[in-house]
């Protein structure tokens, strides 16, 4: 995979107009555009189709977490929209993940298209180990928990996981080379940390074994967003 294809830009904006402007500006230097709740709730599902028609691949980042029937039904809809990838919370359990993976393949088969990659969200990058123990009452260590959940996601037929940079190497060792690792919490050395807790640089994330890195604010806040994206890609190229 070429360095630009590894870069996922988070379209954390309020309007369809802003999103499509970013896609137009960046689509030839970025691999995937991520649509989260902010944009999806504002612009609606059709924004996925519009970005795809404009030449961008779309990661629908809605982190589905509900009963198996509800999430598998949502997976069929996301597949119809033409998403390149989408995610569910591993904490939703094995049956939810199995039914979601199955529904995605079935729907793509009916449509005659390639199925979107289904990713399992492990632990959010804003969660610290202390919060894991004290707030969520989970006594496993962060790395042990994330690896266990990654193995469970693979067992249930998911394509990969979303995990912080700190767990990349352990997931890669446990799950092997064919399992996708999408890594948020990535910050170039010249960018602010913001509210992320478990972070690393783009080059470090790729060297540890990530397939994709997700970056939003360091690009969106830049005076020249294309230049910011190119700086990140140059860092990736130097690391490979």
| 3-state secondary structure at position 63 | strand
Spell out the residues 6+ positions from residue 52 whose beta carbon is closer than 8 angstroms to its own.
58, 81, 82
Binding site listing for substrate: 12, 34, 61-70, 125, 187, 196, 216-217
Active site residue 61: yes
- 2, 41, 63, 192: which one is catalytic? 63
CB 59 within 8 A of CB 83: yes
Question: How many residues belong to the chain?
Answer: 240
In the structure encoding, which two tokens stand for residue 102, read together? Answer: 């199955």
CB 131 within 8 A of CB 145: no
First to last CA, the chain: 11
DSSP character string of 171-211: HHHHH-TTSEEEE--B--TTS--TT-SS-B-HHHHHHHT-S
- 66, 102, 193, 211: which one is catalytic? 66
Binding site listing: 12, 34, 61-70, 125, 187, 196, 216-217
67 sits in which H/E element: none
Rounded distance between C-alpha atoms, residue 165 and residue 103, angstroms: 30
Active site residue 41: no
Rounded distance between C-alpha atoms, residue 86 and residue 120, angstroms: 9
Active site residue 24: no
In angstroms, the Cα distances linking 22 to 15, 19, 55, 139, 215 are 11, 5, 12, 42, 13
- 28, 41, 46, 61: which one is catalytic? 61
Q: Would you name the residues annotated as active-site residues?
A: 61, 63, 66
């Amino acid at each position: 995979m070429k360095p630009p294809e590894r870069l996922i830009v988070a379209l954390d904006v309020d309007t369809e107009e802003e999103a499509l402007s970013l896609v137009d500006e960046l689509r030839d230097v970025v691999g995937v555009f991520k649509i989260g709740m902010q944009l999806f709730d504002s612009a609606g599902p059709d924004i996925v189709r519009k970005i795809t028609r404009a030449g961008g691949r779309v990661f629908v980042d809605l982190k589905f977490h509900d009963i198996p029937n509800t999430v598998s039904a949502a997976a069929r809809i996301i597949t119809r929209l033409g998403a390149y990838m989408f995610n569910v919370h591993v904490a939703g359990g094995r049956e939810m993940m199995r039914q979601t993976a199955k529904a995605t393949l079935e729907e793509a088969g009916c449509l005659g298209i390639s199925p979107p990659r289904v990713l399992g969200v492990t632990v959010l990058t804003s969660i610290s180990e202390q919060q894991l123990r004290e707030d969520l009452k989970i006594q496993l260590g962060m790395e042990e928990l994330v690896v266990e959940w990654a193995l469970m996601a693979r067992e249930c037929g998911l394509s990969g996981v979303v995990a912080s940079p700190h767990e990349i190497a352990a997931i890669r060792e446990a799950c092997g080379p064919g399992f996708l690792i999408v890594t948020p919490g990535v910050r170039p050395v010249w960018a602010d940390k913001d509210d992320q807790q478990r972070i690393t640089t783009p080059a470090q994330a790729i060297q540890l074994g990530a397939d994709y890195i997700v970056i939003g604010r360091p690009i969106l806040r830049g005076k020249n967003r294309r230049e910011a994206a190119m700086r990140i890609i140059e860092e990736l190229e130097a690391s490979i």
